[in-house]
Each structure stands twice: as C-alpha cells, then as structure tokens.
Chain A
Amino acid sequence: MGNNNRKRIHQLALLSILTSLALILSYVEAVLPPIFSAIPAVKLGFPNILIIFILYRMGTKEAAAVSFLRIALSALLFGNPITFIYSFAGAFLSLTVMAILKKTNLFSTVGVSIAGGILHNLGQILVAMLLLGTSEIGYYMVVLAFTGTLAGFFIGLCGAFLIRQVDI
C-alpha cells in the first residue's frame, strides 16, 4: 500500500517535470527562427520528442495528459483560443493514431512518429477547413505530408534515442 502510494507520487512528480519540460521546448521552438521560412507553418514540434518518450515508457494516458496540459498552458501563456484549437486537433489526432500503431507492434518508434507527424498536420488542416469553411486549403496537405514526414522522422529518432538511453 505504502509502496504503491510512493510509486504514484513518483509518477505524478515525473509527469509534472515532463510537462514543464515540454512547455519549455514549445517556448524554445517559438523563439527560434523557422526552419523552412519558404513554407509557412512548418515546425519540427520539439515537445513531441517527450510525448513519444512518455507514450513508449509510461503509457497512452500519461502521454495524453502531458500533451493536453502542455497545449493548454502554452495557449494560455503565448497563444490564443484559436492556436489552442489548432494544436489540440493536431495533437489529438496524432496521439490517437500513434497509440493505435504502437499497439499493432508492426512499426518502429520512428515509423510511429512519422505517422504522428503527418496526422498532426492533417488535424490542423481539418480545423482550418472548418474555421474557414473551405476545402480549398486541403491541397496544402500535400506539402504538409512531406514536411510532416521529415519532422516525424527527426522527432522519432530523438524519441528513440531517449527511450533507449534515459532511465526513469
């Protein structure tokens, strides 16, 4: 009983630290110059390195909690309700698909992360379609699928490295 309690407190503290770390990473990404300034709205999504790590090392629920808190906090601190809707839709779709793909055990961490990267963009495009009431922005998805693949690849490599190296 006492041991179980200690375990839960340990997990709570750990998830809190990871949440603040994710928040810091989204801030760092926001102040860094964009990577491809030619293509708007393309980001690597540093906080997702942690989300991948939590998904594999702790579980889906934990990853969802940290992801949601990070998005809510960064929208409160640096964004607005609109950025919250965009981030939330992307994160929700990408985490759902990543959790399913991870369960099938068919793909590596990098493969799962690439799917997450693409789905993240898809979620945001769908929100843009809803907010603008047009499906025309849909063909931007062609570009974003490729950049999402690259971002997912990079994030997946970093995540896989953390999963292997970091002991929690």
Chain B
Amino acid sequence: MTKTDGKKLKNDIIFVSVLLFVISVIGVFYFFFRGEGDTVTVTVARECYGEYALDEDRVLEIRTEHSLNTLVICDGKAYMETADCPDGICTDHRPIFRDGESIICLPNQVVVTVTAKDGEEPDIVA
C-alpha cells in the first residue's frame, strides 16, 4: 500500500463515518422526538382517500380499481391487515400511532399516515 492509498483510506473512513453519523442523528430525532397522533390519513396515488380517528376501532377497506388493502384501527393503533400487492411488505409493518409515522404500500400507492390534529406540529425535521 502506497502513501496515497493510506491517505485515501483515511479520507474514506472520515467521509463515511461523518455521513452515517449525521444521518443517524437525523434519524434519532425523527423517531423519538414526536408525540402521539390522533388521526390517520389515507392517501391513494397522491389523492386523499379519507381521515379516521385513532380512538375509534374499525376495519377499513381501501379499495381502488385494481387494488385492495385492509387497514385495521384497534386500541389507538393502526396496522395493515391485508394487501393484494405482490410483496406484502406493508402487512409486516408494526402498528403505527406516533405523529408522523406511516405505513406505505408502494405497489398499490397507498400511504397511511398518523397525524396530530390538535396542537402545533412537533415535527422538527421537515
């Protein structure tokens, strides 16, 4: 290993660690510094599908021409029960209840987001 190689390796390590550190800090803020929400907003293909209160238990069928997702709201949390998309990643998502948390079904373009209706936005990272 020549001298310049060693220098480049040092630069690599500094570059990657700084980058990952900054991203982790942003991530920690994003995950932990926010309160609970009280409303779930459902959008399908960028269009608003509906808003539902989190404190009301219900089973919601999100149906479009070519897709069907079932969202369950239970005990103040929302989760995706079924989805007819090929991967089904959204059904593995843990239940959401914090302000700003979301479940996204990429193939069906369904986005379920928790929002806090009352009070100001505690969202630090836009």
Measured in the bound complex, the distance between the Cα atoms of B8 and A107 in whole Å is: 5
Which of chain B's residues has its CB closest to A38's CB? B92
Interface contact B106-A128, CB-CB below 8 Å: yes
Interface contact B12-A114, CB-CB below 8 Å: yes
Which of chain A's residues has its CB closest to B25's CB? A142
A30 to chain B, nearest CB (A): 13
- Interface of A, helix, strand, loop or mixed by DSSP: helix
Interface residue B111 (Cβ < 8 Å from any Cβ of A): yes
Q: How large is the interface on B (under 10, 10 to 19, 20 to 34, 35 or more residues)?
A: 20 to 34
B21 to chain A, nearest CB (A): 11
- Interface of B, helix, strand, loop or mixed by DSSP: helix
Interface string of A104-142 (1 = CB under 8 A from B): 001110110011001000000000100111111101011
Give the A-binding residues of B (Cβ under 8 A): 5, 8-9, 11-12, 15-16, 19-20, 23-24, 26-27, 30-31, 43, 46, 87, 89, 100-102, 104, 106, 109, 111, 113, 126
Give the B-binding residues of A (Cβ under 8 A): 40, 106-108, 110-111, 114-115, 118, 128, 131-137, 139, 141-142, 145-146, 149
**A107-B12, A134-B104 known; 7 other A-B pairs, CB under 8 Å?**
A40-B89, A107-B8, A111-B12, A132-B46, A132-B104, A145-B19, A146-B20
